[in-house]
Chains A and B, each alone.
Chain A
Amino acid sequence: MKSTFVRSCLAALLLAGTAFNAHAQEEVIVGAATSLSGWMGPFDKDPTRTAELAIADINAAGGLLGKRLKLVHIDTKTDQALTSKAAQDLVKQGAKLLLIACDFDSGAPAALVGQKANVISISSCGADFKYGNLTIGNNVFTAATDAAATGRILADWGTRKKGWKKAYILLDTFIEYDKSLCRGFKEQWQALHGKDGVVLEDTFKNADVSVASQISRYNASGKKADVIMLCSVPPGLASTLRQYRAAGIDLPVLAGTGGAGNALHSAVPGLTNYFFLNNSADGGVTDPNPANEEFFKRFEKRFGERPAVGQGITGYTVVQAWARAVEKAGSFDTNKVRAELEKFKDEPLIGGLTSFTPKLHTNVDRPMLIISVDGNKREALGYYDIRKGDFVTWW
């Protein structure tokens, strides 16, 4: 009798033990090695917040493969050494996914750690092609749209929807994004209009106080452009725009994702005839995609404001993409999840249609939202798909 009692006690203990273990295993860690301070801070803040929302959504719906997700964020402070350490720390804690910085140079140290430990790392809005072409390895993805691809989209849209024929390309040589943006634009523009389609190319530096020489170079060239492709980011973007307008050049101006944001529009009063693109609407603009609108409302409820720029949403995309791949694979195993991610073909995610292939871990033909600014009033024109040559809806 006694031995039975002891045995059942032991069995109970054992059961309790396994139950406890099972409980401990139910939480799966998603690591975020992103910056909340330093110059990356403004770029990483919203993606980190939207990733948090994505995880809350998944948990509210019962978790992933029956397990709860937990976001562990370590502030990397725009410091590469800290980024590498943060990623190592997260990997050691058992993170199954790393959300990494919106910029390749800042995020690469974390991606390297992830690659070495065979953990998937996905950048939120890093549009550098080096994130997408397996430079670091096959575990690195980006939820952004490739920089050169955004340039091609702008060229295609400007040609087909606006009928512009002659372009003037003005490049700010400060960051890689701008160089790729202008490269993509030029490539597509010349494919559509021939070599003469580009009437003038010029460069400046973001920190230049004056672009007077660029303006006089354009005026002196005697060539008339229909549109200016301005590949730059604030603050240089705003000051250049202001100087061109002040000089009486009121041509339409095109800008990439760096041209978004409320700050720009207040820096150039009465900004008109200005167009840029993004993954979704900026704060204060109505997004044509109802799913995004609904998402922004929830974001506002949680954080008291809308994401400042349309790229903020990509943090949600990162978690959603990975979770969907995990579901399809039925496992958290990195190799299986990667294989599923690489099968994505126009996967409708919050943040846009997303495609990956085994060779390409970035998006080169995702429809992007074109936003126009007229008299400081911003309006979303629609999602432009370069494959169709037209605005599309997929919802």
Chain B
Amino acid sequence: MNLRRPRLFPATGLIAVLAVLAVGSRLWGNTLVEGALTEALLYLVLVVGLSIFVGNSGVVSFGHIGFAAIGAYASAWQTCCTGFRGVFMPGLPTFLLELDMPVVTAALLAGLLAALVAAVVGIAIMRLGGIAISIALLSLLFIVKSVYENWDSVTAGQSSLVGLPLYVDLWVALAWAAGAIVVAQIYQRSAFGLKLRAVRDDEAAARACGVTPWIQRLIAFVLSAFVAGVGGALYGHYLGTLAVSIFWLDMTFVTIAMLVLGGMRSLTGAVVGTLAVTATREILRSLERGVDLGTLHWQAPQGSQEIVLALILLGILVFRPEGLVGDRELGVRKAV
């Protein structure tokens, strides 16, 4: 691999593309497009987080949305609903009830909590083999959901938390997405990333070279949980309200679909997949709302969004199982 030129790629290229899209949508002034792009960037944080683990280890994770939930609630504990925090979450310790944390610090701490949880459970889970890890991570998602849904005094249980500071706009989302991409790139280029990819491609050979598979997986897992946790926190501050049910199978499948569609093994794939899925969803959504063609008003049947998206995903899986970009990266000639 040519190590000199591509050092900055694909991250700089991807961030440049996203920045151009963001500036473009702002200049265009279409609020729907801007809203969709903001949401896409937030999803991108989650998908990049997922891809740090999935892309380098080759193990599909169904559990990362659980870390998003942990991050979202951790941020809410620090910043939510001044004056009402004790009403919604009476079980919080006093120091949290009185805390007024700056939102950025809160997001980082939220990511740290998710990473901590990942480190603890990862020590056990990462020793399992490929598909067993996926199943264990799915169980983890279920456990997080059950605990958070029944831990009434700290998470408001099945009710929503309302009144998270709404600070996430297009630029905030762009900045965090760029940050996530940089983190993912640094990891990918590090010796850890290389070792984990070696485990992914040939575990026996990697072991023979002195790489311990579970430790490498654990490092990627903790880092990706951190990014996913931050992603969850941002999503909460984008909606302004939190419910455990947001971080559930829908979000899990959408993020996995984005990653698979773009190309599971590449960072560029994560970005392409996220943008492609969001664009498709938005277009179908506006068709469902109806379009005016001259004098004619045409409206797609309700539910077509879900069906068409599923068909596209199926098509990609059948005809391009490696995803839209495969394992190529933007600005990088195909790796040897």
Instruction: Spell out A's residues near B (CB within 8 Å).
Output: 36-37, 74-75, 79-81, 84-85, 88-89, 92, 104-105, 108-109, 112-113, 116, 130, 135-136, 175-176
Contacts and interface: CB of A to CB of B under 8 A. Distances in A.
Contacts of B162: 108, 112, 130, 135-136
B31 A92 contact: yes
Contacts of A80: 160, 239, 241, 243, 246
Contact of A89 (B35, B39, B238, B288): B35
Contacts of A81: 39, 235, 238-239, 246
B35 A85 contact: yes
B159 interface: yes
Contacts of B35: 85, 88-89
Contacts of B163: 112, 135-136
Contacts of A175: 158
A109 B239 contact: yes
B26 interface: no
Nearest to B250: A79
B146 to A, nearest CB: 14
Interface in B138-163: 158-160, 162-163
A175 B159 CA distance: 8
A311 B160 CA distance: 23
Contacts of B90: none
Nearest to A103: B160
Nearest to B246: A80
Interface string B218-243: 00000000000000000100111101
A108 B160 contact: yes
Q: Of residues B243, B250, B303, which shows the largest number of chain A Cβ atoms within 10 Å of its Cβ?
A: B243
Nearest to B156: A105
Contacts of A84: 238-241
Interface of B: 31-32, 35, 39, 84, 158-160, 162-163, 166, 235, 238-241, 243, 246, 250, 288-289, 302-303
Contacts of A130: 162
B241 A108 contact: yes
Contacts of B235: 81
A43 B243 CA distance: 20
A36 B302 contact: yes
A95 B35 CA distance: 18
A176 B152 CA distance: 12
Nearest to A128: B159
A105 B159 contact: yes
Given A37-B303, A88-B31, A89-B35, A104 B239 contact: no
A84 B166 CA distance: 11
A83 to B, nearest CB: 9
B163 to A, nearest CB: 7
A105 B157 CA distance: 12
A135 B160 CA distance: 12
A105 B160 contact: yes
B84 to A, nearest CB: 7
Given A85-B35, A105-B160, A116-B166, A74 B289 contact: yes
A349 to B, nearest CB: 27
A8 B202 CA distance: 85
A204 B281 CA distance: 40
18 contacts: A37-B302, A75-B288, A75-B302, A80-B160, A81-B39, A84-B241, A88-B35, A89-B31, A89-B32, A104-B160, A105-B158, A105-B241, A108-B162, A109-B240, A112-B241, A135-B163, A136-B162, A176-B159
A108 B245 CA distance: 14
B249 to A, nearest CB: 13
B68 to A, nearest CB: 13
A215 B10 CA distance: 66
B40 to A, nearest CB: 12
A129 to B, nearest CB: 11
Nearest to A88: B35
Contact of A135 (B32, B84, B166, B240): B84
Q: What 4 pairs across the A-B complex have the smallest Cβ distances?
A: A105-B160, A112-B240, A108-B162, A108-B241
A36 B302 CA distance: 9
B286 to A, nearest CB: 10
A89 B30 CA distance: 10
A130 B84 CA distance: 11
Contacts of B32: 89
Contacts of A176: 159
A175 B157 CA distance: 11
Contacts of A108: 160, 162, 241
Given A84-B238, A85-B39, 19 more contacts: A37-B302, A74-B289, A75-B288, A75-B302, A80-B239, A80-B241, A81-B238, A81-B239, A81-B246, A88-B31, A89-B32, A108-B160, A108-B162, A112-B162, A112-B166, A112-B240, A135-B162, A136-B163, A176-B159
A136 B32 CA distance: 25
A31 to B, nearest CB: 13
B302 A109 contact: no
A74 B288 CA distance: 10
Nearest to A176: B159
A108 B80 CA distance: 14
B159 A109 contact: no
Nearest to B288: A75
A108 B160 CA distance: 8
Nearest to A36: B302
